[in-house]
Amino acid sequence: MTGIGSRSADGRSANSTPGTERTPRVAAARKLLRRAGRDRAGRFLVEGAQAVREALTHARVHEVFVTDAATARHPDIVDAAREHGARVLPVTEKAAAGLSETVTPQGLVAVCDLLDVPLTTALDRTADFVTVCAGISDPGNVGTVIRVADAAGCGAVLLAGDTVDPHNGKAVRASTGSVFHLPLARDRDAPAVVEACRSAGLTTLVADGRGELDLHDPAATPILAGPVAWILGSEAHGPGPEVFAAADHRVRVPIHGRAESLNLATAAAICLYATVGARAGVAPQLSSGRG
């Protein structure tokens, strides 16, 4: 068989003619730019050298679309894709741009399996520090929270309610590869996610500017040091009244100046690293785990 997608015995393309935006495989991949297409196919797109490297290391990659210029810039990635058994498909710059959601397409796009796992898998006995995104509609915020959770050492990120799909291109880019580093689980029933966390032995803490517990109050330290699930909602509306009601504590980050509030990414970093700090102070007591 000839044409785009066929390969010779050494794994290289048997046809040097780049695929266009009308090539069937390119057209099929473009459907993955939309959530419905991703959910239907069970796959998503990853763009750019760093993200594709992470995908090849941590995910199942089916195809890699690459322009001539990107091949020249990143021959190591192209070779790695072939070594991992991915189909490498040369495409035109216009075809690559059609698979991109960025202002300056990088000419390198991979098709990967979706990353999310069942909620029960994410909340196994090793996950004693998790982050819950509840009702966050901005994909950049979701990606950034996943990045912060990864940096802070969380065991999983749960996406509850109407939170945006973490496989959204902007979310993947904002995570800078962290979507590949820790379990992700999605469930549209946000209160059920909170209850699942509590059933797994986690104290549920919802970030709230009017919360009854001050993050810097000494009374918060033993709570933060234990198994916790931090719940973060949208900047505009929070996680919703049902989630507020279901959580064990509403925790506020004190604002000492005249700022009206903190943005979500900043609040997430402060809250998650408060747990890291509390655990560092009581490490001997935490070493035995949850029992």
Question: Hey, what are 258's tokens?
Answer: 């005249």
Q: Choose one of 71, 98, 113: the last residue of a domain.
A: 113
pLDDT of residue 283: 43
Which whole number is the average pLDDT over 221-242?
91
Domain identity same for 105 and 140: no
pLDDT of residue 285: 41
* Total count of domains within the chain: 2
List the single range of 15-29, 47-61, 73-87, 151-165 with lowest mean pLDDT: 15-29
In a domain, 213, yes or no: yes
In a domain, 44, yes or no: yes
In a domain, 3, yes or no: no
Which whole number is the average pLDDT over 20-31?
96
The reported pTM is: 0.88
Question: Hey, what are 97's tokens?
Answer: 């741009």
List the Cα angle 192/166/231 in 5-degree steps: 40
Domain identity same for 100 and 130: no
In a domain, 158, yes or no: yes
pLDDT confidence bin for 282, thresholds 50/70/90: low
Domain identity same for 94 and 152: no
Residues 6+ positions from 156 with CB-CB distance below 8 Å:
122, 123, 127, 130, 131, 182, 183, 184, 185
pLDDT confidence bin for 234, thresholds 50/70/90: confident
What is the rounded CA–CA span in Å between residue 236 and residue 49?
34
Q: Choose one of 71, 91, 113: the last residue of a domain.
A: 113
Which whole number is the average pLDDT over 29-33?
98
Domain identity same for 142 and 189: yes
Which whole number is the average pLDDT over 236-249?
88
In a domain, 4, yes or no: no
In a domain, 7, yes or no: no
Mean pLDDT, rounded, of the chain: 90
In a domain, 190, yes or no: yes
The CATH number that applies at residue 188 is 3.40.1280.10
Domain identity same for 81 and 190: no
The CATH number that applies at residue 43 is 3.30.1330.30
Q: Which domain holds residue 166?
A: 119-283
In a domain, 15, yes or no: no
pLDDT of residue 2: 34
Domain identity same for 102 and 157: no
pLDDT confidence bin for 126, thresholds 50/70/90: confident
Q: Given a cut of 80, is residue 159 above it in pLDDT?
A: yes
pLDDT of residue 205: 97
Domain identity same for 158 and 235: yes
Q: Choose one of 45, 80, 113: the last residue of a domain.
A: 113
Q: Give, in order, the Cα–Cα distances in Å from 3 to each of 21, 59, 83, 95.
A: 14, 27, 21, 16
- CA 115 remoteness from chain centre: 9
Which whole number is the average pLDDT over 173-179?
95
Domain identity same for 93 and 128: no
CB 40 within 8 A of CB 71: no
Domain identity same for 206 and 93: no
What is the rounded CA–CA span in Å between residue 244 and residue 222?
21
Residues 6+ positions from 146 with CB-CB distance below 8 Å:
131, 157, 166, 171, 174, 175, 178, 179, 182, 184
Domain identity same for 40 and 90: yes
Digit-coded pLDDT (tens) for 184-199: 999 999 999 999 999 9
pLDDT of residue 258: 87
Digit-coded pLDDT (tens) for 204-215: 999 988 889 999
Q: Given a cut of 70, is residue 248 above it in pLDDT?
A: yes
Tally the residues of the chain. 291
Domain identity same for 146 and 107: no
Domain identity same for 55 and 185: no
pLDDT confidence bin for 93, thresholds 50/70/90: very high
Q: Given a cut of 70, is residue 7 above it in pLDDT?
A: no
